[in-house]
Structure 1
Amino acid sequence: MSGKIIGEKECTRRAEQQFMARGNSPRGSNSMQNVSQGTMKPNRVWITALTVGVIALALFLVGISKPSSTFYDEFQYVSSARAFLAGASNPNPEAPPLGKLLIAVGIKALGDNPWGWRIAGSVCGALTLVAIFLWTHLLLHDYVLALTACTLTLFNNFLFVMSRVAMMDVFLVMFIMWGLVAFTAVLEWKGLSAMTRRFILGFAGTMFGLACACKWNGIDTLGIVLATSVILLLVAKRSGDNRIVRYRTHLSQVGILPLIVALLVVPVAAYSLSYWPLCRSLHRPFTWSELLSMNLYIWRFHLATPGNKAIASPWYTWLFATNPQRGLSYLVGNVVVMWGGLLALAFCARSFWKSFPEALVLVLYAGNLLQWGFTPCKSTFYYYYYPAAMFLGVAIPLALRQLPERVLGIRPAFILVVAAAVIFVVCYPRMAHLDAPWDCAFGCWS
């Protein structure tokens, strides 16, 4: 009898292995966990991520040479990149150097022209979308919802505009999102060794440090990640949620000291090292005193500079803004994603104490928005909403999880994606700087 039972178990085990080998994993399984098992085979998640990146890059590059001259804040950053390549004095010392160095790489590769100025931003915008897809898949373990988040983000208007202008925000958000991908992988992936988990967390810390080296606002997301780690370690042991307990186990495997190194020491080191090429170009010593001097200048500059009051707007007006920013490619958020995302955040708030993904997305959005109520700068501008707005496309699929999968035979996600696509198409001629008469193909904006 015992031999018969053993034989039945062996047959069951082999059948399960054959089932999984055919790729028929049950809904909700995380296909990305192949990485943790050392069998990272090409599957639809990785193939989709690559496809998303290629499509986004192609969309961002079409017509990127328009306008043919620098516009909005491009001049100061492009001028700084030119100075870096020429070894001249930095004309834009009021901002950290990394984003300007990336623009300089584009100019070095493609020349001092619109393609050279903007190519780095387009590449980073495409990488941002890839990160959104992977991060949402890690959080939700759902391919369709991850693809929904990715598509809504592509159509939110912010990503398109900011990926086609030589400014710092697209670099900031790209590094933030890849830091979140790495951090969430540390929490989610099973079967990793302690050393591998520490390495991935160190990569996350590096990404957050490089985000700060583009704009100091990266510190907000780093702070949220650090606080999340501490809460999971100190509070999660009393949680009855198996997912939270698993997260605590994985962070405990990393260890307290390596976690501190990864999320405090590594970001500071990555941030500091971004100044080395600048110091070398300026023939200045790469020392702590020099770094302190440069960063004190940035701090004092933003405390004292009033900014352009004519185009400034308070942070709390951004949520429901409908007037396009004519000086910045007629930027205005896609109302389907912006307003639908705010409604979705209300659903997330209802599940704040019950579900980790909802809580994390809500805190990340709030942190990246509310910082502007406390940041000591004289003026704020609508495009500052970009980092926070990127989480709205993820919030919507989180809310959709609480709705029926189909309504009258149609997925709600499909309806939202189509609606967002229509609004994006209407906005496209202006955002893409199309020539007349195509710029007013869907009506001229005031």
Structure 2
Amino acid sequence: MIEFVWRWRVALMASIVGVVAAIMRFGSLGYPQALVFDEVFYARGAYSLVTMGYEGEWGGENQDFANGDLSQLSAEADYVVHPNLGKLMIGWGIQMFGPTPYGWRFMAAVVGVATVIMIAFIARHLLRSTLWGGVAGLFLAVEGEHVVLSRTALLDIFLTFFIVAAMGLLVIDRTSAHRRLLAAAAFDRERLGLGPGSLIPGQGPNLGIRWWRLAAIATFGLSVSVKWNGLYFAAAFLVLSVIWDWYDRKKCGWENWFAGGFVRAIPAFFATIIVVPLVYLASWIPWFRSENSWGRHWAENNPGEGLTWLPDSLNSLVHYHEQMLEFHRGLDSPHNYESNPWGWPLQIRPTAFYFEDVTDVDCGAERCISAIHGIGHPLIWWVGAAVLLYALWRIFRHRDMLALTVTTGYLAAWLPWLPFAHRTIFTFYTVTMAPFLVLMVVWAMKRLAQPDHRRGKWWKPGAIICAVYIGLVLILAGFFYPVWTGEPIPFEYWQMHMWLPSWV
């Protein structure tokens, strides 16, 4: 009976957050009938990939493609600066539903909903609570940056999906490893005749091949196959996995816990430097298979240049990557919506994806507009900035492993961009921060409502504060929904959402 109730609660939690996420992402997904922001690159590139096997040059006006005119696609290869996987996934939606706005946004919405559900389960495990897992999933379901990117055919939502999936696999790996470490510690103490709290000689057991961690490494390879900055997350989370191992070995009581964790990290390191490149290389199979791909025959046309010891196809791919790297290094052209990453935690300069006057819909006002702004949910982001400071204090003052766990993804998504503040970068990159932002915020909420000293019991004032906060988050999500989805609204109502001058 207890197991049935437990399963029923978990199923209900997953169903609620999944339904809310789907409503936010699939509602009027085909609107607007236009290429929104950088969909001009990725939607058209995806169509080209799944029809020709490579990305071709497009002519004509952007709206021609949105209106169904596909005649402007030429056989001439286009120079693109991101790997293929995200665009291939966009293309799967196009194959299912055609080259329509719904078709090229479909897979973004699917992985957006999947990410919400994964975060709910990750939070449930980390916080040991189905309720708090549901709150985390609900917060991500209504988080503006994640909603907007889940409704747009850009790459970053796919990057976010694979990063969260990889973290989830590492959490499963840790749970499995910890269970085995506890069993080994109990066995060694009994074998050596040691008391329950005594130190155990040695480093702890060799757990063999950790398949869940290997799966996480491969999934990080998929994230890099969407955008290169997946490498930052791979490095951060795999280091965190080693820290978990040290922590668990020490907690179980082995004297040489550090050496034990370090030695076992060496195979994981070599697996990473082998598996991630192999997965990444596999994502370029369409490029290898298409004779007309950009730069496909560079090595053959330039004998004696590049890495001549490689086969011509790989030499050409390396040269192509050198070109892409040079492009990214020089990406510093001014843009109306570029943002300084120092302002990302407060969403100082959100990205305007779309803004048009609407004349064919009566919104009940003299001027009607359709606008899509990548504005992160203010109550979640602004509270999250304060929670980050608290979490860092917990890490350095109390060596709080859970605080480190919930902040790692946030910091991995943010800190690497700070040295590149001079480049043309955008706030919508923070969609990769959003899942870990809600983990941080909900972790802090639990500490407020169920303080450690109460051993899981509720503190009524803290619980009331959290309940009011959840209500305000949901109400504000409803208020911002029109400017996250492009729903036609009066111009004056749009102005009510522009809380900061930098949001206009």
The letter of the residue matching 2:273 is L
- Give the secondary-structure state (helix, strand or coil) at the position aligned to 2:83: coil
Seen in structure 2, the aligned counterparts of structure 1 residues 69 and 265 have a Cα distance that, compared at 3 Å, is same
**1: CA distance, partners of 2:79 / 2:104:** 16
Residue-by-residue CA offset, 1:56-75 (whole Å, 9 max, x unaligned)? 22321111111101021110
- Give the secondary-structure state (helix, strand or coil) at the position aligned to 1:363: helix
Aligned partner of 1:391 among 420, 436, 442: 436
* 2:285 paired with 1:273: no
Seen in structure 2, the aligned counterparts of structure 1 residues 232 and 426 have a Cα distance that, compared at 3 Å, is closer
- The residue aligned with 2:221 is 209
Seen in structure 2, the aligned counterparts of structure 1 residues 62 and 348 have a Cα distance that, compared at 3 Å, is same
- The residue aligned with 2:377 is 334
Contact 1:94/1:301 (CA < 8 Å) preserved in 2? yes
**2: CA distance, partners of 1:110 / 1:319:** 36
**2: CA distance, partners of 1:57 / 1:310:** 31
- Within 5 Å, give how 1:359-398 maps onto structure 2: 359-375=404-420, 378-398=423-443
- The residue aligned with 1:10 is none
- Cα offset, 1:424, TM superposition: 1.0
Contact 1:198/1:262 (CA < 8 Å) preserved in 2? no
- Cα offset, 1:442, TM superposition: 8.8
* 2:232 paired with 1:220: yes
Larger strand proportion, structure 1 or 2? 2
Aligned partner of 1:82 among 32, 41, 47: 47
- Cα offset, 1:258, TM superposition: 4.4
- The residue aligned with 1:60 is 25
**1: CA distance, partners of 2:155 / 2:488:** 27
- Give the secondary-structure state (helix, strand or coil) at the position aligned to 2:210: helix
- Which shifted more, 434-443 or 101-110? 434-443
**2: CA distance, partners of 1:77 / 1:364:** 26
Contact 1:109/1:116 (CA < 8 Å) preserved in 2? yes
What is the aligned residue count?
405
Structure 1, unmatched stretches of 5+, are 1-18, 25-41
- The residue aligned with 2:344 is 318
* 2:335 paired with 1:292: no
Seen in structure 2, the aligned counterparts of structure 1 residues 149 and 409 have a Cα distance that, compared at 3 Å, is closer
Contact 1:157/1:331 (CA < 8 Å) preserved in 2? yes
- Give the secondary-structure state (helix, strand or coil) at the position aligned to 1:319: helix
- Within 5 Å, give how 1:118-137 maps onto structure 2: 118-137=105-124
- Cα offset, 1:279, TM superposition: 2.6
The letter of the residue matching 2:385 is L
- Which shifted more, 285-294 or 434-443? 434-443
- The residue aligned with 1:347 is 390
- Which shifted more, 256-265 or 203-212? 256-265
Aligned partner of 1:260 among 269, 294, 314: 269
The letter of the residue matching 2:9 is R
Seen in structure 2, the aligned counterparts of structure 1 residues 386 and 436 have a Cα distance that, compared at 3 Å, is closer
**1: CA distance, partners of 2:4 / 2:138:** 28
**2: CA distance, partners of 1:336 / 1:295:** 40
**1: CA distance, partners of 2:248 / 2:135:** 33
What TM-score do the two structures reach when normalised by structure 2? 0.72
- Give the secondary-structure state (helix, strand or coil) at the position aligned to 1:277: helix
The letter of the residue matching 1:304 is G
**2: CA distance, partners of 1:391 / 1:221:** 12
- The residue aligned with 2:84 is 97
Seen in structure 2, the aligned counterparts of structure 1 residues 101 and 185 have a Cα distance that, compared at 3 Å, is same
Aligned partner of 1:168 among 148, 155, 178: 155
**2: CA distance, partners of 1:158 / 1:92:** 28
Contact 1:272/1:291 (CA < 8 Å) preserved in 2? no
**1: CA distance, partners of 2:430 / 2:462:** 36
Contact 1:103/1:118 (CA < 8 Å) preserved in 2? yes
Name which one, 1 or 2, has greater alpha-carbon Rg.
Answer: 2
- Cα offset, 1:100, TM superposition: 0.7
- Give the secondary-structure state (helix, strand or coil) at the position aligned to 1:403: helix
What TM-score do the two structures reach when normalised by structure 1? 0.81
Contact 1:306/1:378 (CA < 8 Å) preserved in 2? yes
* 2:494 paired with 1:422: no
Structure 2, unmatched stretches of 5+, are 57-76, 182-205, 298-311, 355-371, 450-457, 499-503
Identity of aligned pairs, percent? Answer: 22
**1: CA distance, partners of 2:344 / 2:494:** 27
- Cα offset, 1:50, TM superposition: 5.0
- Cα offset, 1:95, TM superposition: 0.8
- The residue aligned with 1:73 is 38
Residue-by-residue CA offset, 1:263-288 (whole Å, 9 max, x unaligned)? 33222211111111233244548943
**2: CA distance, partners of 1:253 / 1:22:** 41
Kindly report the root-mean-square deviation, in angstroms, between the aligned alpha carbons of the 2 structures. Answer: 3.2
**1: CA distance, partners of 2:263 / 2:438:** 31
- Cα offset, 1:84, TM superposition: 1.1
**2: CA distance, partners of 1:104 / 1:370:** 32
Aligned partner of 2:487 among 424, 434, 440: 434
- Cα offset, 1:255, TM superposition: 4.4
**1: CA distance, partners of 2:323 / 2:275:** 23
**2: CA distance, partners of 1:114 / 1:441:** 23
Contact 2:84/2:283 (CA < 8 Å) preserved in 1? yes
Contact 2:409/2:436 (CA < 8 Å) preserved in 1? yes
